[in-house]
Chains A and B, each alone.
Chain A
Amino acid sequence: MANVAKKVSWSGRDRDEEDEPPAAGEATPLLNGASPGAAGGPPHSRPITHSPFLRLGKLSSVDLNDDETEATNQFPSEIPHNEKLLLLKYESLDYDNCENQLFLEEERRINHTAFRTVEIKRWVICAMIGILTGLVACFIDIVVEKLAGLKFRVVKDNIDKFTEKGGLSFSLLLWAILNSSVVMVGSVIVAFIEPVAAGSGIPQIKCYLNGVKIPHVVRLKTLMIKVCGVILSVVGGLAVGKEGPMIHSGAVIAAGISQGRSTSLKRDFKIFEYFRRDTEKRDFVSAGAAAGVSAAFGAPVGGVLFSLEEGASFWNQFLTWRIFFASMISTFTLNSILSFYHGNPWDLSSPGLINFGRFDSEKLGYTFQEIPIFIVMGVVGGILGAIFNALNYWLTMFRIRYIHRPCLQVIEAMLVAAVTAAVGFVMIYCSSDCQPLQGDSVAYPLQLFCADGEYNSMATAFFNTPEKSVVSLFHNPPGSYNPMTLGMFTLMYFFLACWTYGLTVSAGVFIPSLLIGAAWGRLFGISLAYLTSGAIWADPGKYALMGAAAQLGGIVRMTLSLTVIMMEATGNVTYGFPIMLALMTAKIVGDYFVEGLYDMHIQLQSVPFLHWEAPVTSHSLTAREVMSAPVTCLRRIEKVGTVVDILSDTSSNHNGFPVVESSPDPTQVGQTTGRPAASPAPGPWAAEVAGLRGLILRSQLIVLLKHKVFVERANLTLVQRRLKLKDFRDAYPRFPPIQSIHVSQDERECMMDLTEFMNPSPYTVPQEASLPRVFKLFRALGLRHLVVVDNHNEVVGLVTRKDLARYRLGKEGLEELSLAQT
């Protein structure tokens, strides 16, 4: 009920602000007309000079809502960030091809063989994506190994020195300072240069593939920051992994290569121009994400399935096969380079960044009796995952609200790094679990208070990169850890990992989750053997693997791809069934409490994300209630001045404009009929008959304005070059803002003919269509604008992504999110 009241009140106060200039900082930009699929400009109080047409539109839009009382004015227009918002800055991608005349002409000109070439080019690009992703993964792996090795050696020497002499607090300080200074660098580059590179990048890629344009997400700069950031945060000893960011890196590489140019570097290689549009780019980005997974875990099939499960909203067989190709190439590249690096060329034994090592299936088979145990482990994983997510939710909310300044974010990251070191040190210091040194089983054996020739077992878990810790938990022989050590480690690492995820550093959550799960799984295995006094001969490594799977499943809630990734990473198909069981149970149990971590973060970022289906209880809503109205329309032959004014109106920063038939009245605007009597509108609404002719995008209009494609000019200079599709592609994906385009006073009087450039066949729905139907059309075709028309093909409203995404199934039923601006 409360939400309804709010909704009403917001529409009520609209007019008051229009009438009197609002107080400083209180400005609420009006959404004049429809199409909120648009970036919000700066708050804007009142248009200064406008053509009569625009004034008209503005008034009418205000009049629409003037039936509200004044009593609800006090409702604040500024609210603290919460999870029930959609941010205006997120735009949609144009996955639907704009089938205008230029496009059709070009497609007609391309003959059969040319299409073949395009197809071959696609394969070449996929191969390049795979190779480059593999190379980036190699680079990260080698640099992390070198730097982390250096750091651990320095700290170890220091600890060894001070163990004899006393003064271990200096070692602690050294460790903490080393960690936090490395993390500081990593955090500074992320916070100040490219904030979108923070986190694992999987939520962002998920959004991108869902059709949301996250600003800067696939830029070269982001890739650079991401790679350096990951290296620094892993070396800085945070509880993070380098696997998640590989997915983002792969996606950026794919988006970059497929365009054949870099806008950041201002280099255009004049290749792959055909792919310069959102539709094609999306396919390559999903290939890149798959290649990233494949490089991270050595799991090519898992990568493809990851793209399928998490990302791709649009899918077909050819694409799948190409994506698989890219994944395979990626893991092969990584494998061959690393084999050279490790000094055994052509051995090809390290397919991924993390290698879980070989689980010997003969020794570590599982029996029928163990299946219930695995299910119980799944339940534990689900519950722990839900706790993890819930804690992280509160923390993230706090961070968004209070720690939004870059310097604060850097300080926070540094503090976490220091605390991670301190906790690790104290744990190692307090632990009395000593194990005899055996050959080369431990990378950095810390002796500390153990007898000579023994090492501290806690140190293998804390004093190591998380990847190595996971592998040692899987494979160290039974008895390498005592239960106390494992218990303390799980507890501490759980909170550290939960605290770390969401910091302004680029880092993934895969490895920490695996590590937590492996630790409690091993503990589980040990206690099982203890409780049954050896009746169940439990190899703790097997239970560590199951625990890791269950924990990861409980946190990220992936099922299909995760099962396959785990299977491929362990190289053991026998474990497929138990892993699947554990993951399934973890997901079911976890979903009962809270959402998965990635979905949660998408929601907290206020991204208009479209799920697979419309909310189940939304059948009673129709397009009429969902759509935005009234719509700012353009006429087929429009005055330049009008177009410029509409485009530069910051309060209605729309991206799509329905094109209607020209009418004799030059001040005509769309949206006329079909308004119910219940909503009185005394505004000057001319009953204009304006049939829908097409849809034109802001980007197209800007290109037209830039090239000054005016009717008058065409008549004056007959030799003027015709605008080609290439001109639009060259401007893609960063179209200049309208402010940068100069239009002289004379030119404002010219006319523009949009017929050639508009999409003459936009998708439309009648007003009566139900929300699920609209949703399905929108989601399946990847639309950006969906025009709602009445019986006479007149524009009534426009449905955009945010109109659909605002309905969400909450705890108490259908909820409606509100739009907000930063």
Chain B
Amino acid sequence: MGLPGELQPECRELLVGFASSSVRLTGCLVRSARPVRLCQSCYRHFQSVTEQLKNITRAVGNSSESNCAKSLLMSDRVQLVVILSQFFNSTWEKANCANCLKNNSEGLSNSTIEFLNLFNTTLMCFEHNFQGQAINLGPSNHTEVCRNCSRTYSNLNALYNKMQKMTEQGSEHRTPLCIDVEDAMNITRRLWSRTFNCSVPCSDTVPVIAVSSFILFLPVIFYLSSFLHSKQKKRILILPKRIQSNASLVNIQEKYS
């Protein structure tokens, strides 16, 4: 038993455990910030942090360790442990990592693994074809990449859309996919359409203009024809029954003159 102000040894143990696991998680998070690999590389660390925190909180009920949770979690103004754990949780939620993990958080879900594999294949394909072309660096002349990788790319796109749809079905609100998948897709798409300039949509301006001007022209015809052919709405005037006195006429005339 130390001084009253000092921490009990078991509490210190818990604190140290939390410290080391959070160091590992923080390092992992920062290391996998770009390109984003948060969920796939850090889920184990995150789990251990959650467990450590659970150990601390679970201690509340236990009489011998009750003041441990109290002293670690709520005995000062700053409450660093709480701040840190909140930060981890909110980061995790923002990244929506739960979406690409299995239900028990024991590893990546099957669709995520499939997606990541396909993503790697696509990247490999890009790299392969791009290197072959690097010699003749024509501006936006990456037709070979476009031709060779379009299948993998569209597969990847399709898979991504499918995953998006699956998450939408699960809940009423649109929840985004986890950040790893999203970022991977974004990178690929940017490469595809910006760097390689592969997605050239057919712009058929002439028919669109023709159809829209046809539609825009219809009301003109309509209004003209209804103006010319429709019978104008007439109102039949009704005579009000009044006492015709000169006074009233004078009154009104005054107002009009």
Residues on A facing B (Cβ under 8 Å)? 1-4, 7-8, 10-11, 14, 27-34, 36, 40, 43, 61, 64-65, 67, 77-81, 85, 87-88, 163-169, 172-173, 176, 342-343, 398, 400-405, 408, 411-412, 415-416, 418-419, 421-423, 425-426, 429, 436, 439-440, 448-449, 451-453, 606, 617, 620-621, 624-625, 627-630, 675-676, 678-679, 797, 803, 806, 812-814, 816, 818-822
Q: Are B157 and A452 in contact (CB under 8 A)?
A: yes
Closest 5 CB pairs of A and B: A166-B202, A452-B189, A453-B189, A169-B207, A625-B248
Q: Are A29 and B215 in contact (CB under 8 A)?
A: no
Taking the closest CB of chain B, its distance from the CB of A663, in whole angstroms, is 23
A28 CA to B238 CA, complexed, in Å = 6
Q: Would you give the 0/1 interface string for B115-137, flagging 1 where the beta carbon is closer than 8 Å to chain A?
A: 00000000000000000000000
Main secondary structure of the interface of B (DSSP, over half): helix
* Given A173-B211, A814-B252, CB of A820 within 8 Å of CB of B230: no
A544 CA to B64 CA, complexed, in Å = 59
* Given A4-B253, A408-B226, A422-B215, CB of A628 within 8 Å of CB of B208: no
A411 CA to B218 CA, complexed, in Å = 10
A15 CA to B257 CA, complexed, in Å = 29
A34 CA to B109 CA, complexed, in Å = 85
Q: Are A419 and B216 in contact (CB under 8 A)?
A: yes
On chain A, the residues within 8 Å of B175 by CB distance are: 440
Q: Are A172 and B212 in contact (CB under 8 A)?
A: yes
Q: Are B247 and A81 in contact (CB under 8 A)?
A: no
Stretch at the interface among B42-50, B140-148, B193-201: B193-201
Complex interface residues of chain B between 19 and 57 (CB less than 8 A to chain A): none
A196 CA to B239 CA, complexed, in Å = 27
A7 CA to B256 CA, complexed, in Å = 13
Could you show 23 A-B contacts with beta carbons less than 8 Å apart? A28-B236, A30-B239, A31-B239, A36-B238, A77-B237, A80-B235, A172-B211, A342-B173, A416-B219, A422-B212, A422-B215, A423-B216, A439-B182, A451-B193, A453-B185, A629-B243, A630-B241, A676-B246, A679-B243, A813-B255, A818-B238, A819-B240, A821-B236
Complex interface residues of chain B between 146 and 202 (CB less than 8 A to chain A): 157, 171-176, 182, 185-186, 189-190, 192-194, 199, 201-202
Q: Are B238 and A422 in contact (CB under 8 A)?
A: no
* Given A165-B202, A676-B245, CB of A31 within 8 Å of CB of B208: no
Residues on B facing A (Cβ under 8 Å)? 157, 171-176, 182, 185-186, 189-190, 192-194, 199, 201-205, 207-212, 215-216, 218-219, 222-223, 226-227, 230, 232-249, 251-257
Taking the closest CB of chain A, its distance from the CB of B191, in whole angstroms, is 9
Q: Are B226 and A403 in contact (CB under 8 A)?
A: yes
Q: Are A403 and B244 in contact (CB under 8 A)?
A: no
On chain A, the residues within 8 Å of B210 by CB distance are: 169
What would 5 more interface pairs be, CB under 8 Å, given A4-B252, A10-B237? A77-B236, A163-B201, A418-B218, A806-B240, A822-B235
On chain B, the residues within 8 Å of A401 by CB distance are: 232-233
On chain B, the residues within 8 Å of A78 by CB distance are: 234-237
Q: Are A816 and B230 in contact (CB under 8 A)?
A: no
Q: Are A820 and B249 in contact (CB under 8 A)?
A: no
A675 CA to B185 CA, complexed, in Å = 92
A170 CA to B244 CA, complexed, in Å = 68
Q: Are A819 and B204 in contact (CB under 8 A)?
A: no
A787 CA to B147 CA, complexed, in Å = 92
On chain B, the residues within 8 Å of A61 by CB distance are: 241
A421 CA to B212 CA, complexed, in Å = 9
A404 CA to B234 CA, complexed, in Å = 11
Q: Whose C-beta in chain B lies nearest to the C-beta of A3? A: B256
A164 CA to B116 CA, complexed, in Å = 26
Taking the closest CB of chain B, its distance from the CB of A604, in whole angstroms, is 12
Q: Are A1 and B253 in contact (CB under 8 A)?
A: yes
When the two chains form the complex, which single residue of B174, B242, B255 contacts A625, counting CB atoms closer than 8 Å? B242
Taking the closest CB of chain A, its distance from the CB of B190, in whole angstroms, is 6
Main secondary structure of the interface of A (DSSP, over half): mixed
Q: Are B251 and A449 in contact (CB under 8 A)?
A: no
Q: Are A40 and B202 in contact (CB under 8 A)?
A: no
A423 CA to B194 CA, complexed, in Å = 29
A453 CA to B215 CA, complexed, in Å = 32
Q: Whose C-beta in chain A lies nearest to the C-beta of B209? A: A426
Q: Are B240 and A36 in contact (CB under 8 A)?
A: yes
Q: Are A169 and B234 in contact (CB under 8 A)?
A: no
Q: Are A167 and B235 in contact (CB under 8 A)?
A: no
On chain A, the residues within 8 Å of B235 by CB distance are: 78-81, 85, 87, 606, 820-822
Q: Whose C-beta in chain A lies nearest to the C-beta of B235? A: A820
Q: Whose C-beta in chain A lies nearest to the C-beta of B228? A: A402
A433 CA to B255 CA, complexed, in Å = 58
On chain B, the residues within 8 Å of A408 by CB distance are: 226, 230
* Given A1-B253, A452-B199, A625-B248, CB of A820 within 8 Å of CB of B241: no
Taking the closest CB of chain B, its distance from the CB of A203, in whole angstroms, is 19
Q: Whose C-beta in chain B lies nearest to the C-beta of A6? A: B237
Q: Whose C-beta in chain B lies nearest to the C-beta of A803? A: B240
Taking the closest CB of chain A, its distance from the CB of B140, in whole angstroms, is 13
On chain A, the residues within 8 Å of B226 by CB distance are: 402-403, 408
Q: Are B201 and A402 in contact (CB under 8 A)?
A: no
A285 CA to B60 CA, complexed, in Å = 59
On chain B, the residues within 8 Å of A418 by CB distance are: 215, 218
Taking the closest CB of chain A, its distance from the CB of B84, in whole angstroms, is 25
Taking the closest CB of chain B, its distance from the CB of A424, in whole angstroms, is 10
Taking the closest CB of chain A, its distance from the CB of B68, in whole angstroms, is 36
* Given A452-B193, A453-B189, A625-B243, CB of A81 within 8 Å of CB of B230: no
A204 CA to B137 CA, complexed, in Å = 70
Q: Whose C-beta in chain B lies nearest to the C-beta of A812? A: B256
On chain A, the residues within 8 Å of B194 by CB distance are: 451
